[in-house]
Amino acid sequence: MSVPRVTALDRAGVPDAAAFLARALADDPGWIHVFPDDATRVARMTRMLRRSIDPYVALGASHIITGAAAAIWAPPGKHDLPISTQLRLFPGVAWLIGRRVPAALRLFRAMGAGTTKEPHHYLAVLGVDPSRQGQGLGVAVLAPTLAACDEARALAWLESSNPKNHSFYRRIGFELAAETPIPGGPTISFFARRPR
pLDDT above 80 (res 134): yes
Mean pLDDT of all residues in 157-176: 97
Which phi and psi angles does 9 have, rounded to 5°? -80, 125
46: Cβ contacts below 8 Å, ≥ 6 apart: 18, 19, 22
Tell me the percentage of the chain whose pLDDT exceeds 90. Answer: 68
The structure's pTM equals 0.89
- Distance, in Å, from the CA atom of 90 to the CA atom of 45, rounded to the nearest integer, reads 15
Q: How far apart are CA 71 and CA 69, in angstroms?
A: 7
The confidence score (pLDDT) of residue 87 equals: 41
Q: What are phi and psi of 97, to 5 degrees?
A: -75, -35
pLDDT of residue 89: 52
Q: d(Cα 67, Cα 5) in Å, to the nearest integer?
A: 11
User: Would you state the pLDDT for residue 103?
Assistant: 75
In this prediction, residue 125 has a pLDDT band, given cuts at 50, 70 and 90, of: very high
Q: How far apart are CA 195 and CA 56, in angstroms?
A: 22
Whats the size of the chain, residue-wise? 196
Residue-wise pLDDT for 59-95, tens only, equals 999 999 999 999 999 999 887 654 444 445 545 555 5
DSSP element (H, E) containing 152: helix 137-152
* pLDDT value for 77: 82
The domain at 7-153 falls in which architecture? Answer: 3-Layer(aba) Sandwich (3.40)
Q: What is the pLDDT of residue 141?
A: 98
Query: Which range has the worst mean pLDDT, 2-6, 43-47, 182-186?
Result: 2-6
- Does residue 163 have a pLDDT over 80? yes
Query: What value does the mean pLDDT of the chain take?
Result: 88
Q: Closest by alpha carbon to 106, among 24, 179, 180?
A: 180
**Could you tell me the residue ranges of all domains in the chain?**
7-153
d(C-alpha 119, C-alpha 102), whole Å: 29
